[in-house]
Chain A
Amino acid sequence: MSDPNTHRKIRWHIIVFLAPAVLVYTAVMIYPLFNTLRLSLFTEVDQQRVYVGLQNFRTLFGDTVWSTQFWNALGNNFWFFVIHMLVQNPIGIALAAILSHPKLRFAAFYRSAIFIPTILSFVIVGFAWKLILSPIWGIAPGMLDAVGLKSLYAPWLGKEEYALTTLSLVSVWQFVGIPMMLIYAALLSIPDEILEAAEVEGITGSAAFWKIKLPLILPSIGIISILTFVANFNAFDLIYAAQGALAGPDFSTDILGTFMYRTFFGFQLQLGDPHMGSTIASAMFAIILIGVCLYLFGIQSRMRRYQF
């Protein structure tokens, strides 16, 4: 005759079901993350690891040898991000809008074709584009020549003023499928009733996109922006595959990821320094954390949501 509500049983199944994911995530993400943060507080003196507090950060921001490299990498990283925001995401949204048009034929084919580069390895993309743009074997000079625009060609990847923008656009080409797919899904989830009601009111065509669809997909655009931000500030692979760890020419394509790699693992005669490398990694983590927090508390929480 006991009341079932008086003592609640421990619900073991919750723990059991959560355990694998929590354990794996802790082992491969949380632990390395905190260990990296910890490592940035140490340095090596005579083969001994010594605790130095925030000295490494002082070196990174105070010593001009380090700080000029850091600010250069951060600046390049911002430019990399700006190009993605200005080119990749608008094109992704436009493609999604076109694809969701009910009268478009072969929509499935276009969707797959545009999405395919996303699943390619960075190495393939990096080398393929390096070859396409090569002044010696590449098809880019030939193609421009064919339409009489040979004068526009330059060895883009070898010129300081163009290299980073070129690589950003290659990255845009590779990843434009992601915003397209996310927006496409968001557009499909807009109920037809709303669009029909709008049509009755006389809002059709592009007006319907700007006044009805766009406000409804804004939350998705927000998510895409933050994903782009995180991915761009963690980027490394494409630059490394195309330009190597020295991120040439003259460090014009050096971003935080390549700077961190070079410092952590060393390069050619430069010996690896795990402690300074971790310091840079911690700075990257802080930058991404601040960016994500600004978004979460500044934008996401104020965004209006519509329930259907």
Chain B
Amino acid sequence: MKISTFTGAMLATTILTGAAAAEDVTLTIESWRNDDLAIWQDKIIPAFEAEHPGIKLNFTPSAPAEYNAVLNSKLDAGSAGDIITCRPFDASLALFEAGHLADISDLEGMANFSPVAKSGWSTDDASVQFCVPMASVIHGFIYNKDAFEELGIEEPTTEAEFFAVLDKIKEDGNYIPMAMGTNDQWEAATMGYNNIGPNYWKGEEGRLALLAGDQKLTDEAWVAPYRQLAKWGAYLGDGFEAQTYPDSQNIFTLGRAAIYPTGSWEISGFNGLADFEMGAFYPPVQNAGDTCYISDHTDIGIGMNAATANPEAAKTFLNWVGSSEFATIFANALPGFFPLSSAPVTLEDPLAQEFISWRGECESTIRSTYQVLSRGTPNLENETWNASVAVIKGDESPEDAGKRLQEGLASWYAPHQ
């Protein structure tokens, strides 16, 4: 009897270990966040694997600019990973429509997200959800606190104060007033136009009106941000025309510039580089007392390759991504990427706290060009890059830029025809 129990136990263990070994699957994660490789490997992956024995994760990022092209080719060739990091809106929607991303509307973890958070990764009628919202980024300005103290200036809250501050820094001459270049083009649109713009078009109100065709890009609300950008050129460093994004990052973290128009995603990188204290202010409003609007952009989602060999394991992982545990690890490992889940999360980084506190003070919106409007040719997002650069350099007037973009949009977007 004793022996048979023992044998039974032995057999049971063999079967169990056998089962466990058979279950040991590796999920490969596609991502463009190569900056986060260390965080995934040191924090996120061990935390998940400790809780879910039998599932291994392999994080394989590629360069951000190439990600979409690389991913599309891999998916078409059938060699893409099990888990796909999703760009918001059309890029992922196209992948879903092509049958590359699985429908995960039924996932339990999905209950933790608000409709706004989910909007970046659902079909136009919001009926099907294909990626779990992971993080958003908030736009604003980071500044060098030491420089501000040295010059005796304070965070500007209105546009007039903002330009007074810039003038003062320029006059002093020790610092470049603002670190931004136009060589890579996207900063001008993302950190320029879409950063300061929501204050003019009143966030979601204007964005949805533009989507519906009730407002035009030639309206004052959409041209005014260009008018402000046109004034920026004078405050950027020498040769800003050939200054790249990494150049700007370095200029600011080396303490050579006072203000850096940006998004919260820089926080984790800058914390390690800058040896001065950093502060942040949201885009200054037009007149004192105006409601402030911030771009709180849904930026990263995560979904499942429809062709994965391990759908169950992939779902387990996605559910975990929707949990508050993941949100806490992620938010603190990567201050500046704010979790979208409604689950409460405590942030430790002061700069990240500053950014996220604006959610209480200001109205949130997302980047104006991302939903639907960049679906056609010409592509509104790419055109906005181009127009923002041209306006900053003074090659095109704000009115002409608005007119050109409106013509391009009207050429294919029915509500504007």
A272–B374 alpha-carbon span in the complex (Å): 13
Contacts of A136 in B (CB 8 A): 237, 239, 243, 247, 250-251
Q: CB of B377 within 8 A of chain A? A: yes
Cβ 8 A contact of B239, one of A158, A250, A265: A158
A31–B370 alpha-carbon span in the complex (Å): 38
Q: Are A270's CB and B69's CB within 8 A? A: no
Kindly provide the distance from the CB of B300 to the nearest chain A CB, expressed in whole angstroms: 15
Q: Beyond A65-B377, A65-B408, is A134–B241 a contact (Cβ under 8 Å)?
A: no
A265–B241 alpha-carbon span in the complex (Å): 27
A243–B241 alpha-carbon span in the complex (Å): 12
Contacts of A291 in B (CB 8 A): none
Q: Beyond A135-B243, A271-B94, is A266–B390 a contact (Cβ under 8 Å)?
A: no
A236–B348 alpha-carbon span in the complex (Å): 46
Kindly provide the distance from the CB of A264 to the nearest chain B CB, expressed in whole angstroms: 8
Kindly provide the distance from the CB of B62 to the nearest chain A CB, expressed in whole angstroms: 13
Q: CB of A268 within 8 A of chain B? A: yes
Q: Beyond A158-B182, A249-B182, A270-B374, is A265–B97 a contact (Cβ under 8 Å)?
A: no
- Which chain B residues (196-254) contact chain A, with CB distance < 8 Å? 237-244, 247, 250-251
Contacts of A270 in B (CB 8 A): 374, 377, 379, 381-382
A270–B72 alpha-carbon span in the complex (Å): 12
A70–B208 alpha-carbon span in the complex (Å): 34
Q: Are A158's CB and B374's CB within 8 A? A: no
- Which chain B residues (83-103) contact chain A, with CB distance < 8 Å? 89-91, 94, 97-99
Q: Beyond A65-B378, A268-B382, is A249–B239 a contact (Cβ under 8 Å)?
A: no
Q: Beyond A136-B243, A269-B370, is A250–B381 a contact (Cβ under 8 Å)?
A: no
A235–B69 alpha-carbon span in the complex (Å): 19
Kindly provide the distance from the CB of A240 to the nearest chain B CB, expressed in whole angstroms: 10
Cβ 8 A contact of B242, one of A156, A267, A269: A156
**Number of interface residues, chain B, beta carbon within 8 A:** 45
Cβ 8 A contact of A248, one of B73, B91, B183, B377: B183
Q: CB of B411 within 8 A of chain A? A: yes
Contacts of A137 in B (CB 8 A): 247
A-B contact pairs, 28 of them (CB 8 A): A65-B377, A66-B377, A133-B242, A134-B239, A134-B244, A136-B237, A141-B239, A154-B239, A158-B241, A158-B243, A244-B184, A246-B382, A246-B385, A248-B183, A248-B389, A249-B182, A250-B389, A265-B72, A265-B73, A267-B65, A268-B186, A269-B90, A269-B370, A269-B374, A269-B381, A269-B382, A270-B379, A272-B69
Q: 8 new A-B pairs (CB below 8 Å) besides A135-B237, A249-B241?
A: A47-B99, A65-B411, A130-B244, A266-B68, A269-B89, A269-B369, A269-B374, A269-B381
9 shortest interchain CB distances as A-B pairs = A135-B239, A158-B241, A158-B242, A155-B242, A265-B69, A155-B239, A269-B381, A269-B374, A270-B379
**B interface residues (Cβ-Cβ under 8 A, vs A):** 65, 68-69, 72-73, 89-91, 94, 97-99, 181-186, 237-244, 247, 250-251, 369-370, 374, 377-379, 381-382, 385-386, 389-390, 393, 395, 408, 411
